């Protein structure tokens, strides 16, 4: 019986372990943590014949034929470097799913915009009567789909750079690149390395869809991507590449591959960036042969994505908006640009590397006040001071932020209170979803 080891006892790791167990492998799953929840899962998986090791670091041995890495595990930790030196095949959970799922894939990557674009595509395919669940960073773990009795008609996968890095053969039918800005550099080291990882997915895709309004991707241009479907919200004249194959907005209509598909105003989500997401989703659906009536119906009914400019409530004329998914400066700048002003911004968390000048310029233009939480509060306060912006306060926690936002909102006649952290969440929360859920819960409990 071949032996496999799975690193990471999250949703992806458990699904990978169950898939390999079903396929006749002897499976061990490990995690450095040993929380009560993990101990429960350890007992549950033991009944399925899957061994779980908690509270210790993994050390590879030659008897292992396959190592599967969960998305959050760095690709260059010493144990994985040693495993590769020993000749042990080492892959990510998404690569494992690819090997067992025979359906065509739409693979969506990029720094920002992935989740909304993925959700839009999944909604369109569902409206067309296809079983095409979202997976990866949203929805299911990819291996959960491979485990299911009913195989999907299409797999709609949001794929991070971590997941591409650990995939050797993943080759979508349609690959989409939403945006490209500096992110995850603490892991990927250089911008060039980060770019090349993203490019790997597109190079393996049969059809490529690229956001032609993204400055960095546009700079790479048709020299790098001569056969891509380029998109632009700025009209046909701004389109790179073959205009007959591209997708763009002209006279308030979405046009893809020379077909007039739907009015751009059909999408209820605010912000130019969401029109870019719309274009990429429509182009993918059109390339997949989906009828434009189904595309139009799905877009008209699309409610938006939780934690991305999600309207929570209106209190005394002030809209409280959850943009917890804005985990870097560029995403947070887009969030603040998209809302009415004057606004009160709640920012901070686990700080990331990146260029913050455009974000700070937007704060100076649109924010009546900035309330700072988490580990980044002091860093952000210093940066705002340096930029001659003084309407900031360190409040530390989400509870204090919402209470203070309500007080300041009334005083300053603001239109919006926006949680758009520009940070990861790991200093105070498990993930950005938990942070956004806490914001929602506090707003609904204390304001409504």
Could you report the per-residue pLDDT of 241-255, keeping only the tens digit for each? 888 899 999 999 999
Q: How many Cα atoms are found within 13 Å in the side-chain-facing hemisphere of 360? A: 17
Q: What pLDDT score does 63 carry? A: 92
What was the pLDDT predicted at 83?
93
Q: What is the mean pLDDT of residues 158-183?
A: 90
On the question of pLDDT at 183 being above 60, the answer is no
Q: Which two tokens stand for residue 148?
A: 């299911």
DSSP for residue 236: G
| pLDDT confidence band for 447 (50 / 70 / 90) | confident
Mean pLDDT score across all residues of the chain: 92
Q: What is the β-pairing status of strands 247-250 and 253-256? A: antiparallel
> What is the mean predicted confidence (pLDDT) over 260-271?
85
Torsion of CA 143, 147, 148, 151, to 10 degrees: 70
373: left (phi over 0), alpha (psi -120 to 50) or beta: beta
E strands present in 264-404 = 310-315, 318-322, 343-348, 367-373, 392-396
Rounded Cα distance between 246 and 98, Å, is 28
Q: Whole-angstrom Cα distance, residue 257 to residue 180?
A: 24
Range of lowest pLDDT (190-194, 197-201, 443-447) = 190-194
* Helix, strand, coil percent values for the chain (each to nearest 5): 40, 20, 35
Residue 336 has pLDDT above 60, yes or no: yes
Q: Is the pLDDT of residue 117 over 90?
A: yes
CATH class of residue range 310-446: alpha beta
| pLDDT(375) > 90 | yes
Q: Is the pLDDT reported for residue 188 higher than 70?
A: no
Angle 272-287/329-338 helices, nearest 10 degrees? 110
What pLDDT is attached to residue 372?
Answer: 97
Domain ranges of the chain: 3-92, 101-301, 310-446
Count of CA atoms in the C-beta half-sphere (13 A) of 142: 30
Whole-Å CA distances, 338 to 118, 213, 308, 309: 20, 17, 11, 8
Among 286, 298, 284, which residue's Cα sits nearest to residue 106? 284
pLDDT score for 26: 96
Contacts of 185 (CB under 8 A, 6+ apart): 191, 194, 353, 354
Contact indicator for 373, 398 with CB cutoff of 8 Å: yes
pLDDT classification of 222: cutoffs 50, 70, 90: confident
Q: How far apart are CA 306 and CA 313, in angstroms?
A: 14
- pLDDT for position 182: 62
- At 90, the pLDDT band (50, 70, 90 cuts) reads very high
pLDDT band at 443; cut points 50, 70, 90:
very high
pLDDT at 187 over 90: no
250 forms bridges with which residues in the sheet? Answer: 253
Burial class (CB within 10 angstroms; exposed 0-12, middle 13-18, buried 19+) of 281: buried
**Tens digits of residue pLDDT in 6-21:** 998 888 999 999 999 9
As a CATH number, domain 101-301 is 3.40.1190.10
Cβ-proximal residues to 255 (8 Å cutoff; 6+ apart), any chain: 236, 247, 248, 249, 261
Res 448: pLDDT: 67
CATH match of 3-92 with 3.30.930.10: no
Mean pLDDT of 35-52: 91
Share of the chain above pLDDT 90, in %: 71
């Amino acid at each position: 019986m071949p032996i496999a080891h799975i690193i990471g006892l999250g949703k992806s790791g458990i699904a990978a372990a169950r898939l390999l167990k079903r396929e006749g492998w002897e499976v061990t799953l490990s995690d450095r943590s040993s929380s009560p929840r993990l101990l429960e899962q350890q007992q549950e998986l033991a009944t399925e014949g899957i061994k779980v090791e908690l509270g210790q670091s993994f050390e590879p041995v030659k008897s292992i034929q396959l190592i599967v890495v969960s998305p959050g595990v760095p690709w260059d930790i010493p144990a994985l470097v040693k495993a590769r030196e020993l000749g042990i095949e080492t892959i990510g959970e998404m690569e494992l799913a690819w090997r067992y799922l025979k359906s065509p894939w739409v693979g969506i990557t990029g720094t920002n915009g992935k989740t909304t674009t993925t959700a839009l595509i999944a909604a369109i395919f569902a409206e067309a009567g296809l079983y095409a669940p979202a997976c990866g960073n949203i929805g299911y773990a990819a291996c959960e789909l491979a485990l299911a009795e009913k195989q999907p008609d299409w797999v709609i996968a949001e794929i991070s750079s971590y997941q591409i890095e650990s995939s050797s053969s993943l080759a979508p039918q349609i690959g989409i690149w939403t945006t490209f800005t500096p992110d995850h550099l603490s892991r990927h080291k250089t911008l060039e390395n980060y770019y090349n990882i993203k490019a790997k997915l597109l190079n393996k895709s049969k059809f490529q869809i690229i956001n032609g309004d993204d400055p960095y991707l546009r700079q790479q241009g048709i020299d790098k991507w001569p056969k891509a479907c380029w998109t632009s919200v700025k009209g046909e004249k701004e389109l790179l590449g073959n205009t007959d194959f591209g997708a763009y907005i002209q006279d308030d209509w979405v046009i893809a591959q020379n077909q007039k598909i739907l009015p751009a105003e059909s999408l209820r989500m605010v912000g130019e960036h969401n029109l870019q997401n719309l274009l990429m989703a429509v182009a993918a659906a059109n390339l997949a042969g989906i009828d434009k009536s189904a595309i139009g119906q799905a877009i008209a009914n699309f409610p938006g994505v939780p934690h991305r400019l999600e309207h929570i409530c209106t209190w005394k004329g002030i809209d409280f908006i959850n943009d917890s998914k804005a985990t870097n400066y560029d995403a947070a700048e887009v969030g603040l640009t998209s809302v009415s002003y004057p606004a009160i911004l709640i920012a901070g968390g686990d700080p990331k590397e990146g260029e913050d000048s455009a974000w700070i310029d937007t704060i100076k233009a649109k924010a009546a006040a900035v309330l700072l939480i988490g580990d980044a509060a002091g860093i952000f306060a210093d940066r705002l001071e340096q930029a001659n912006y003084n309407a900031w306060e360190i409040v530390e926690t989400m509870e204090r932020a919402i209470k203070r936002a309500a007080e300041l909102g009334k005083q300053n006649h603001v239109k919006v209170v926006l949680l758009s952290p520009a940070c990861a969440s790991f200093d105070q929360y498990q993930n950005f979803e938990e942070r956004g859920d806490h914001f929602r819960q506090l707003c609904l409990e204390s304001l409504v």
